[in-house]
Amino acid sequence: MREFIVEADGGSRGNPGPAGYGAVVIDAATGETLAEAAEFLGVVTNNVAEYRGLLAGLRAAHRLDPAARVHVRMDSKLVVEQMSGRWKIKHPDMKPLAMEASRIFPPDRVTYEWIPREQNKHADRLANEAMDAGAASAGPGTPSAAAKTDADLRAARTVATPSVGWGSAPDLGAPATFVLLRHGETPLTPQKRFSGSGSSDPSLSDVGRDQAERVAAALARRGTIQAIVSSPLARTRETAGIVAARLGLEVGVDDGLRETDFGAWEGLTFAEVHERHPDDLAAWLASPDAEPTGGGESFAATATRIAATRDKLVAAYAGRTVLLVSHVTPIKTLIRLALNAPAESLFRMELSAASLSVVAYYADGNPSVRLFNDTSHLR
């Protein structure tokens, strides 16, 4: 029995927005690319595009050998968990797509695996090429791109540009809304010292406790917070506790919200790190894969952890507003991922102590950044 790997992706430049998918079928034994598929979808949501990519990949594999086994690899946690049967499919627009995908091959011959986005570059490139081509197209009516077997891989792809307007977008319901609160000041904060999840775990200073009281009062006036989840570190738990007491809520703790481990740089200023570890600091500033001196956590590793935590919390708090009490790097990373911004954007954001930011996550997987670094409650 032949075995295929299907890698699929979809994207939407908006929520919803101009969207496309890409899919590739790979021979599991040889690693040879056997088929590609790509299509511009007009204006649809991100998860619709991802499901359409999955459908195209499965159909291409079926055309190659309907008796094959298929292993699907996607960077959409939502699609993978739903198609694996571990998450319920609640949105009405997702259900028919999932049903259609489940009928292409017998379920016992298809397995699903979540992979990081950087491991799904082939399908991601195809999806982006489809979106680029769709944006450049003169108008609707271009023939749809079909899956290509190894006999016609060199043929040019065409993309469809259906006439879909903003008014036809489905109602996605209430999003999971994350109100992101950076903890209040600690004694290390005014000195701008590295304070991660390593050896240092400072509590709030008197200024930090006052900041937490002020943000608690502001959130009480807003009256929208339905749950609170905190990083396990002392400064975040103390901040969350002050807010929770004002709102009459319990505090949950999630280790995924902890700050980056800065290794041997914990407790040092930037200037001190530059003086003691100049080469390591230069490498860290140049690459998200570089670790701080002493085996700390790279920004790339932090991003992987934060993305997994985000997906878990989005599923747990669908349609609800939850306060996440965390730190500089996790909050900046959530904003960066929501904007699909490059890793170096972390160095271009200012995030103040006790500031509020807000990101909403819709049922199709698309985020919407609504607020960043608001400190008006502290004035």
Annotated catalytic residues are: 183, 259
DSSP state of 197: S
Residue 16: asked if its preceding bond is cis (omega within 30°), the reply is yes
Tell me the C-alpha distance between 179 and 370, whole Å.
10
Tell me the C-alpha distance between 200 and 181, whole Å.
20
91: helix, coil or strand? coil
Quote the tokens at residue 262.
Answer: 């800065």
Phi, psi of 280 (to 5 degrees): -65, -40
Quote the tokens at residue 267.
Answer: 């407790």
How many Cα atoms sit within 13 Å of 378 on the Cβ side?
19
Residue type, 75: D
Q: Give the end-to-end CA distance of the chain in Å, rounded to a whole number.
A: 68
Q: What is the dihedral of CA 193, 194, 199, 203, to 10 degrees?
A: 60
Q: Residue 190, Cβ neighbours under 10 Å: how many?
A: 11
Are the C-beta atoms of 100 and 55 separated by less than 8 Å?
A: yes
Sequential DSSP letters for 324-376: EEE-HHHHHHHHHHHHT--GGGGGG----TT-EEEEEE-TTS-EEEEEEEE-G
β strands within 17-161, DSSP E: 17-27, 33-44, 69-74, 110-114
